[in-house]
Structure 1
Amino acid sequence: MHPFDETLLDDPGRRDEVDRTDYLRSLAGAGALVREVTGRVDGDLAEPLRRLAADRPRAVHVVAVGGTRLAADLACSLTRHSGVLVTTGAGSALPGWIGPLDLVVAISLSGAADGPVAQAYEAARRGASVLTVGAPGGPLADAAARARGVHVEVTGRSDHTHRVARSRTAAWAAAVPVLRALQLAGLLEAGATPFDELADTLDEVAERARPDAEYFVNPAKTLALDLADRSPLVLADGPVTSVAASRAAAMLHRTSRVPASWGRLPDDAGEIVACLSGPAAGSPDGSGGGVFADPYLDGAAPARPLALVLLREPEGVEVEGVDHGLTRSVRRAAEHSGVRVVEQHARAGADLVRVASLAAMLDLATAYLALGHGLDPGRVPGLDDITGERA
């Protein structure tokens, strides 16, 4: 991997040479794609979805691969108070307990990923209700037809022509029909799916972090600089921000090609604090070694010291399951150990909006992190062959 070059981020010509797949533009279009899918879900598809969700399911199983796992995580998080079991999966085996009283949601934007397709066909065979999301036609749409279910098309757009959507950049649009079906089934409150606010939030983040905004006024570029020479440890302060943390770790892996881990407070407090005093923590002065470090006096610095990325609920807002005091204690422990702390606060609003405000910014930061290292953020050699998706 090339050394990180922050000057590349502000040079349109060099940036475009690296971003050959136009990945930044695809990320910026997430809000528009959400509006497009919302229009169809609340228009022509409204009645089919209403029939599908007419009977409250005994349980819901969401199978998704690649970037669309965001939709599965959102489904689990937003229905946590519904009293209905919501599970997720990605493999080819449908859980044995699923039957005619259950709803199975299968997402594959290519329409052909092995896990979602196999589970959708098996769900149809068992008589479960089936909702599929992905490209028009193909095996996944056929599985929905066999189950007399609903297939929602989600595609990308390039020069006014349809193409298979990239799972990372179209994940928010893929979540729209899933969340609408759960709402119609009575698993979500009426205000839990403000798709217009979701689209506005995605647009707002894209505007703040647009490529032509120089790094010192661009929060996503600044975040990329903070993580350029570090191993990220992403920590959420509660159940809602944990969705963004999981997404951030996945995007660091897939987009930036940087190993990362994530956790959630209070469950993972012990493991996180233990890491903060380990060999990857850095030095007590926060330098992580640095150009002035003396390896004979100070000890050798880790090759890539830790950075703690704290994803937090809005400042001053009390949220169920969030202990702000514990979060501050973990931050102090990190600072005392010389670990760089990067803190991101969610925008106030519904759960869906808060997740989007964090995750969308990190999506762009991971793209800039890849670009700074000379890597095309939209193309990972061999990845599509392994996942069966256009990652």
Structure 2
Amino acid sequence: MTVDDALLDDAEALAAADRSAVLRTLATAGAQVRESAALATDAGIARLAEEGRPRAVVVASLGGSSVVADVLTALAGRACSVPVVVRRGGPLPAWVGPLDLVIAVSLSGRAAGPLALAAEAARRGARVGGDAADGSPLAEVGSRGGNVQVGVARGPRWDETAAQRTSRGALWSLLVPVLLAADALDLVRTPLPVLAELAARLDDEAEACRPASEAFVNPAKTLALELAGSVPVVLADGDLTAAAAARAASMLARTARVPAVRGALPDDASEVVASFGGPLAAPGGEDVFADPFLDAPAGPRLRLLLLRDAPGTEVDALPGVHGEPVRAVVEAVAETAAEAGVRTSEVVADPGQPVVRLAQLIARTDFAAAYLALASGIDPAASPHVADLRSRLG
């Protein structure tokens, strides 16, 4: 598949190619945060904490909405005093009862898995937080006595485009009510002032990655060109950035149609490094004397994409492989990649609150996946093969 580099520097051509307005939808992330925070506050999301901390929190999300659960577990951390359990579908764990909280997330409010889990949780007397479109079956469950239902923020210029009807384009509308619920329960620190900082960071990223910005100064366009023609290996430097890696791999597959694998350090260092000696690596580096016209075209090569937390964060001091700090493991993996001929791209978060740093990594890779799709002649919002699969499954 060829990549049209020139398209990325032509704002008008990009707008014409982006028929589903994916880039515009990504640019509304900050607005989604603000509107969703207002909706959640008006809905009384803090009422989920009136009976105190639950014994456990079950997050029910599926498909493009599953990143909501990834982000919550990353922010809560392994030391969270309340277990956070992720379920994509049924059955609801047998132990869930009146002492627990179930948060069900679905943009349409009709996803079978989250809907069934929420309905069963309500039947057992558990608290239920619904995060779904108003008037949907899931919203009906969340509106019952003792539960809380938050409608989905639409953001500015809502025009029912294909991009805005997908959970990939509505990430922040779905995530913010969950973050406010978790803050009320004292599981994460994401109060309204932090969400304001989050919205501002997303606005800054949208400005830096705007379509009118030329590729050599636009970090998302640069990343898209670096990933073109490669098989990306998305590697996070810790638990927090692992949520961004999961989102990046999903967006590359669903948006740019590029299969990507992901991992997180320090646990996955050996598996990633082992792949540098495989058929998709370039042992000894690229052949600079290869003739692109006479020689056979080179196949896709691995590209290491490192997602790194801001310098000076606690990940620096955590022990990694062989007891070394995680940052030392990151550097060792990057050096091994260079020696094996595997090129590396990096996205490094700027300082800020954990959710703000995570959001910057997500936004950058979201834009990069969209630009890669458009430069490859692909509609980033619609996949005929996914539609075909859904029709086959009824």
TM-score by length of 1: 0.90
CA RMSD of aligned residues (A): 2.4
Q: Which moved more, 1:138-147 or 1:127-136?
A: 138-147
Whether 1:153 and 2:151 are equivalent positions in the alignment is yes
* Amino acid aligned to 1:285: G
* Aligned residue in 2 for 1:308: 304
* Aligned residue in 2 for 1:242: 242
Whether 1:355 and 2:355 are equivalent positions in the alignment is no
Q: Which moved more, 1:156-165 or 1:346-355?
A: 156-165
* Aligned residue in 1 for 2:321: none
For the Cα contact (< 8 Å) 2:236–2:306, is it kept in 1? Answer: yes
For the Cα contact (< 8 Å) 1:236–1:265, is it kept in 2? Answer: yes
| SS of residue in 1 equivalent to 2:341 | coil
Deviations 1:213-271 (A, max 9, x none): 11111110110000101000000011111111111001011100100000001110110
Whether 1:71 and 2:63 are equivalent positions in the alignment is no
Whether 1:50 and 2:46 are equivalent positions in the alignment is yes
* Aligned residue in 2 for 1:144: 142
Q: Which moved more, 1:242-251 or 1:284-293?
A: 284-293
Tell me the CA shift for residue 126 of structure 1: 1.1
| SS of residue in 2 equivalent to 1:21 | coil
| SS of residue in 2 equivalent to 1:217 | coil
For the Cα contact (< 8 Å) 2:46–2:180, is it kept in 1? Answer: no
* Aligned residue in 1 for 2:23: 24
Percent of matched pairs sharing the same residue: 44
Tell me the CA shift for residue 384 of structure 1: 5.9
Tell me the CA shift for residue 301 of structure 1: 7.8
For the Cα contact (< 8 Å) 1:125–1:147, is it kept in 2? Answer: no
Distance 2:36 2:341 in 1: 46
Tell me the CA shift for residue 151 of structure 1: 0.9
* Amino acid aligned to 2:373: A
* Aligned residue in 2 for 1:59: 56
* Aligned residue in 2 for 1:181: 181
Deviations 1:3-26 (A, max 9, x none): 111111222343233211111000
Tell me the CA shift for residue 332 of structure 1: 0.5
* Aligned residue in 2 for 1:333: 336
* Amino acid aligned to 2:349: A
* Aligned residue in 2 for 1:202: 202
Deviations 1:301-332 (A, max 9, x none): 86111000011122354435361111100000
For the Cα contact (< 8 Å) 2:8–2:221, is it kept in 1? Answer: yes
Distance 1:143 1:291 in 2: 63
* Aligned residue in 1 for 2:94: 96
* Amino acid aligned to 2:30: G
- Cα 1:10–1:122 shift into 2, 3 Å: same
For the Cα contact (< 8 Å) 2:201–2:360, is it kept in 1? Answer: yes
Whether 1:34 and 2:30 are equivalent positions in the alignment is no
* Amino acid aligned to 1:18: A
In structure 1, list runs of 5 or more residues that go unmatched: none
Distance 1:258 1:328 in 2: 26
Distance 1:292 1:133 in 2: 52
Question: Alignment length, in residue pairs?
Answer: 380
- Cα 1:192–1:84 shift into 2, 3 Å: farther
* Aligned residue in 1 for 2:383: 380
Distance 2:255 2:28 in 1: 17
* Amino acid aligned to 2:304: L
TM-score by length of 2: 0.90
For the Cα contact (< 8 Å) 1:282–1:289, is it kept in 2? Answer: no
